[in-house]
Structure 1
Amino acid sequence: MSHKPLIAIDAMGGDEGVSVMIAGAALARHRHDKFRFLLVGDQEKIEAALCDHPNLRDASEILHTSEIVSGDDKPSQALRKSRGSSMGLAIDAVKRGQASAAVSAGNTGALMAMSKLALRTMPGIDRPALAALLPTLIDSDVVMLDLGANTECDARNLTQFAIMGAAYSKIIYGFNEPRVKLLNIGTEDQKGTGTLRDASDLLRSSTGLPMDFQGFIEADKINRGECDVVVCDGFSGNIALKAIEGSARFVTDLLKRSFTSSLRSKFGFLISRPATELLRHHLDPNNHNGAVFLGLNGVVVKSHGSANEKGVANAVEVAARLVEKDIIGRISSSIDHINAENVNKESDGK
């Protein structure tokens, strides 16, 4: 791989568009001067934004297009724009080897559809999964997948998600054997659907995988720091994610209302401000930004549409780290291992 990762940025995606995407890329470049960028979008708007970021201008190329994928576009509509839109061209740059990874804050469904069509799934992977980092009570975040790419999954899919999530966690935090659990309605072996129990059996019986599979976890324990990877189908994962995000906003809004309800409360806020600032920082989604489509023949990172420049910079850093640490090679190695193990089991059973 090139010593200097080149990241394709869909400059037109996200709620704020070009200004925030360029500012985020500039911040990532400031933190890591080896990063280079392919900025995809309206050249005039990109060049105007670059006026405030000369350090980024010196490390960037611009690929012009005025066509964008809107937040309202259905995946089928977006696919028709794949050849000419800023999102499609950023992904295509990864496919052609022009860029090491792509980052977009645009339409999630469109990004997944385009990425899957252009990059295809890795050998041995049936379906790609959307993985994200969620805050916990310990120093490291928890990797959770799938978060909406696949509403229905079988035991084989969940096993592959576990392998991909473990590889991601290992790269981000350096764990030798990340603790992996399946999301379920209880922790007992007999709880949950047959699919979950079958996936648990598959993971328990597989040896030599770079993970520590620890069975089931309930939704109220996701943020406790009791495991490093939570695996689920996309339907359950998306519901759990939205519930966690909503609860975080509820707590912060409730605190804000409480601290402004009276003069005494305002005085209490001044005293407790260091603690509330720490809480705000910990719950800020920009500090955990950068969901990843795992299982594709290329690295694509989804930045939250409402992310600020710090959030975009974090997404760019996630993309670069996955390229540098060879996420695709690590997943491929584990998939080959479990497939070979299954072949041996079938041979022994004959």
Structure 2
Amino acid sequence: MSAQIIAIDTMGGDSGPRLIVKASIACLKATPSLHLALVGQPSLIEPFVSGLCAADRARLQIVAASEVIGMAERPGQALRGKPDSSMRVALELVRDGKAHACVSAGNTGALMALSRFVLKTLPGIDRPAMVAAIPTRSGFCQLLDLGANVDCTAEHLYQFAVMGSVAAQALGIAQPRVGLLNCGTEDIKGNQQVRQAAVLLGESRTLNYVGFVEGDGLYRGEADVLVCDGFVGNAVLKSSEGLASMITDRLQALFRQGLLARLAGILALPLLRRLKADLAPARHNGASLLGLQGIVIKSHGAAGLQGFQSAVERALIEVRMNLPARLQGLLDNHLP
């Protein structure tokens, strides 16, 4: 298998190089075809790679970047004021063909702005959209946008639907069911942008549009791709993560209440562990920025070791699928 080179922004996120480098090295050891470009301040990265064996060290390079984009910085400031930031340098490696993908846990707004500036969007796409797989009763649903675009027009929502459908096809779903997230299923429900987007989607001859889907329909698996603006999508994503944690915590607390409950808990422990693993946000960490001329994966800023590993693994999947090229090849059939 040919090598996959992933550029890692080691300075982003809440924990910085300490956690990100450790998680990246775990992926390196688990995937013989993986090569890493760790981007950031060498003096902060080198202590965490000094113990690698020669074979693993040969698949890793440290790329110096002197500046760091803070989590609270405005995207414009990051774009204009920090030309040597670790995030920008990592994206430039992808642009220049020196890496196949970029993974960052840094500032979401800055990552979106820099990605659009450095990599550009695919022809026909105005804005990239952030998408991730949400667990449902029957499998997964690709939910987008997750926060990259708070204010969207009907045309943007239509483009998100096209990109989500193409991405789902690349993941093996022949005719992905595309829905619009709304506060009801009736035609009169929703804001103006959503209703206008419904008209555009209903007129499409190539998309398998199934209409409006309410929030509970997401988890029932009523759509393979569910489209919304970034404000709504981010709220749904964070609510899903909180709900999953609450359910597992409540079940564990119930099984500690009394002797009979403890005995039941012992019997149910394997199932509880499986449920917790299936719903764990860390397992599904890593949102893809669709619509760019390159692969960019956004990790949650507070992700732990397993979470950041999941983001790197998502990047590997998209590199192996050559997702941007697939998107480009199919967009012309979908866009009006």
> For 1:161, what is the secondary structure of its paired residue?
helix
Q: Does 1:174 align with 2:172?
A: yes
* Residue identity in the other structure for 2:119: L
* Residue identity in the other structure for 2:101: A
Q: Quick one: distance in 1 between partners of 2:216 and 2:89?
A: 40
Aligned with 1:283 (options 272, 275, 279): 279
> For 1:188, what is the secondary structure of its paired residue?
coil
Partner of 1:308: 304
Structure 1: give runs of 5+ residues left out of the alignment.
343-350
* Residue identity in the other structure for 1:84: D
Q: Quick one: distance in 2 between partners of 1:273 and 1:262?
A: 16
* Residue identity in the other structure for 1:43: P
Aligned length: 335
Query: Is the contact made by 1:9 and 1:104 (CA closer than 8 Å) also made in structure 2?
Result: yes
Partner of 1:347: none
Q: Quick one: distance in 1 between partners of 2:186 and 2:195?
A: 10
Q: Does 1:8 align with 2:4?
A: no
Scaled by the length of structure 1, what TM-score is found?
0.88
Partner of 2:191: 193
Partner of 1:234: 230
Structure 1 residue 52: Cα displacement: 4.1
Structure 1 residue 66: Cα displacement: 4.2
Structure 1 residue 10: Cα displacement: 0.8
Q: Quick one: distance in 1 between partners of 2:56 and 2:83?
A: 26
Q: Quick one: distance in 2 between partners of 1:178 and 1:146?
A: 17
Partner of 1:161: 160
* Residue identity in the other structure for 1:253: D
Partner of 2:105: 105
Closer, same or farther: CA 53–14 of 1 in aligned 2, 3 Å? farther
Structure 1 residue 242: Cα displacement: 2.0
Structure 2: give runs of 5+ residues left out of the alignment.
none
Query: Is the contact made by 2:182 and 2:189 (CA closer than 8 Å) also made in structure 1?
Result: yes
* Residue identity in the other structure for 1:25: S
Structure 1 residue 22: Cα displacement: 2.2
Query: Is the contact made by 1:15 and 1:306 (CA closer than 8 Å) also made in structure 2?
Result: yes
Which 10-residue stretch deviates more, 146-155 or 73-82? 73-82
> For 2:15, what is the secondary structure of its paired residue?
coil
> For 1:318, what is the secondary structure of its paired residue?
helix
Query: Is the contact made by 1:167 and 1:327 (CA closer than 8 Å) also made in structure 2?
Result: no
Scaled by the length of structure 2, what TM-score is found?
0.92
Q: Quick one: distance in 2 between partners of 1:256 and 1:174?
A: 36
Query: Is the contact made by 1:50 and 1:56 (CA closer than 8 Å) also made in structure 2?
Result: no
Q: Quick one: distance in 2 between partners of 1:34 and 1:103?
A: 17
Which 10-residue stretch deviates more, 31-40 or 323-332? 323-332
Structure 1 residue 123: Cα displacement: 1.5
Closer, same or farther: CA 56–311 of 1 in aligned 2, 3 Å? farther
Q: Quick one: distance in 2 between partners of 1:181 and 1:305?
A: 29
Which 10-residue stretch deviates more, 61-70 or 94-103? 61-70
> For 2:247, what is the secondary structure of its paired residue?
helix
Q: Give a deviation string over 1:288-344, Cα, whole Å, max 9, x none.
A: 1110111122111011122233322221222122233232223223332244xx4xx
Q: Give a deviation string over 1:203-225, Cα, whole Å, max 9, x none.
A: 23222x3x422111101121222
